[in-house]
Amino acid sequence: MSRTRSGPRAGLFGYLLVAVFGLLVAANAHAIRPAGQPGIDWGDPKGQECVDCHMGENPGLYWEWNHSQHGQNGVSCLDCHQAEEGDVDAWRHEETYVSIVVTPKDCSKCHEKEFEEMDGSHHAKAGQILGSLDNLLGEVVGGPAAVNAGCKQCHGGELEFITEGKDKGRPLAGSWPNTGIGRINPDGSLGSCTACHGRHRFSKAQARTPDTCGKCHVGPDHPQIEVYNESKHGIIYRAKVDEMNLESDKWVAGIDYSAAPTCSTCHMSASPHEASTHNVGERISWTLRPPISTKINLVKLENGEEFDVPEGQPIPAVGDAAKDSTVVEVLTWKDRRGKMEDICYACHEKSVIDGHYEQFDNVVYLYNDKFAKPIAAAMADLKEKGYITPAPFDDKIEWTWWEIWHHEGRRARHGASMSGPDYTWWHGMYEVAQHTYFKWIPELKDVVIKKDGNDEYAVALLEEHFKPIEGHDWYFNGMNKEQLETVRKGFEARYGKGALK
């Protein structure tokens, strides 16, 4: 889906497309405002009592709401918080049943498009981490308290409620507060709109800033905010934030702003050639999370769910039955990349975009082929032959492999994907290489010696899985004279004769 746009006709077409798109987005400039009729679909007059009370009881909460588009359009507390008697989260308050928790399904009464795009996405599924190795580390190696206050505050957890007494319907303190992006709600919906649109302002500008995404996309295994901050995009954003027009209703890249993109720009927002979406994974063509990356095709189902199909595996067609539903749309990895390229085209021309993806792809291939695939194959052999147990994390070598792919390998891949050179190399591939050669391989030999009394099987594994790969030649045969001579000449040219000892 890569596009070539050059020459006078292409330029004229582009201007016409921008003009037409501009008219369309202008017509929908206030689409973010509540749908329906005030006083019927929202604006319940009884909500004024809530406003009058909370203005005195919780003035900060009141002022945040009052300055929001909700407040300015008459959407009151009751419009969002009203519950029905019998709901598990219905709490009797001032002769009215309310729910303290506002769910995406509640928001969908006015924001149906946003709800449908979010529902079924990777974000909505983030709370379903029970079967993951990350959760095993948290719950067992760490402890549940750390998971509640740590993991679940980003991923989301299942909310629980008091079931009897005067506080019946209020959320249990152990599961609340929680605004995790994949929170499991009492009405069956998944997610939390306030993960990105902090209550009670629900600010568009706040949701569009990189810092909002950086609450969760941060740290040793997914440092997207750190990568963004060191990238040219991040540097220009900080310098030109006053030019970003973050409060715009339509916020089209290249039209409403041009200084720099944010996370929202690339993954969610509109460009002259691409509509906005609340499905953050739709424009992602590689998965950078697992030990070995694959390009991924997206299959959307009639029931609102979706799933990825790795490149090379059979892809169902539109109309096929899949996962108890019917396929309604298929986006290949090329389609997904084309959508991301459409965002880039708002501010970059083709050679920049093609060059970025060439460099990004090559880093992923390097990580996959030189390190991840041979290590994964050797680890599988160790388990099959009984050198390590089937259980995870009870052998030191498993922790080392975990950090190579889950921390260092992810950093390298994410660094390349978002133009962060330091994370691509020093925090990424450098540490992958260092820990492969000087942690994992020595531990491989230790594991084999412990069982066999010698390291012959370890050497055999390295011969099988590593030696055929050209990039490992230096490890088996040492640096060749030509490579060393090139380095020596470079040192002497810079530091003087004899500088490299």
In a domain, 182, yes or no: yes
Reply yes or no on whether the pLDDT at 267 is more than 90: yes
Degrees, nearest 5: CA angle 255-258-262: 110
Mean pLDDT across 196-223: 96
CA distance 177 to 199: 12
Under 8 Å between Cβ of 402 and 376? no
- Looking at residue 44, its pLDDT comes to 84
pLDDT value for 312: 96
**Cα(39)–Cα(415) distance, integer angstroms:** 50
Classify residue 220 by its DSSP letter.
S
The residue ranking higher by pLDDT, 348 or 8, is: 348
pLDDT-based confidence at residue 21 (cuts at 50, 70, 90) = very low
* Residue-wise pLDDT tens digits, 125-167: 999 987 789 999 999 999 999 999 999 999 999 999 999 999 9
In Å, the largest CA–CA distance within the chain is 88
Q: What is the pLDDT of residues 408-466, one digit of tens each?
A: 999 999 999 999 999 999 999 999 999 999 999 999 999 999 999 999 999 999 999 99
Q: Quick check: is 18 in a domain? A: no
Length of the chain: 501
Q: Is residue 423 part of a domain?
A: yes
Phi, psi of 133 (to 5 degrees): -65, -35
Q: Residue 233 — pLDDT band, cuts 50, 70, 90?
A: very high
Determine which helix (DSSP H) or strand (DSSP E) holds 295, and give its type and residue range. strand 294-301
Start-to-end C-alpha separation, the chain: 52
Instruction: Please count the structural domains in the chain.
Output: 2
Q: What gap in Å lies between CA 445 and CA 394, rounded to an integer?
A: 17
Give per-residue pLDDT as tens, 50-89: 999 999 999 999 999 999 999 998 899 999 999 999 999 9
> Cα–Cα distance between 287 and 62 in angstroms, integer?
42
Residue of 90, 43, 97, 37 whose CA lies nearest to 70: 43
pLDDT tens figures, 172-197: 999 999 999 999 999 999 999 999 99
Q: Which of 191, 220, 253 is the last residue of a domain?
A: 191
Query: Where does residue 423 fall: left (phi above 0), alpha (psi -120 to 50 degrees), or beta otherwise?
Result: alpha
Query: Is the residue at 135 inside a domain?
Result: yes
**Token pair 């810079």 is at which residue?**
494
Amino acid at 444: L
Residue 152 lies in a domain: yes
Q: Is the residue at 457 inside a domain? A: yes
pLDDT given for residue 35 in this prediction:
66
Cis preceding linkage at 177, omega within 30: yes
Q: Is residue 174 part of a domain?
A: yes
Phi (first) and psi of residue 402, to 5 degrees:
-55, -50
CA–CA separation, 152 vs 160, rounded Å? 14
Domain range for residue 180?
A: 105-191
pLDDT digits (tens, 9 = 90+) for 94-122: 989 999 999 999 999 999 999 999 998 99
**Residue where a domain stops, chosen among 159, 191, 223:** 191
144 falls within a domain: yes
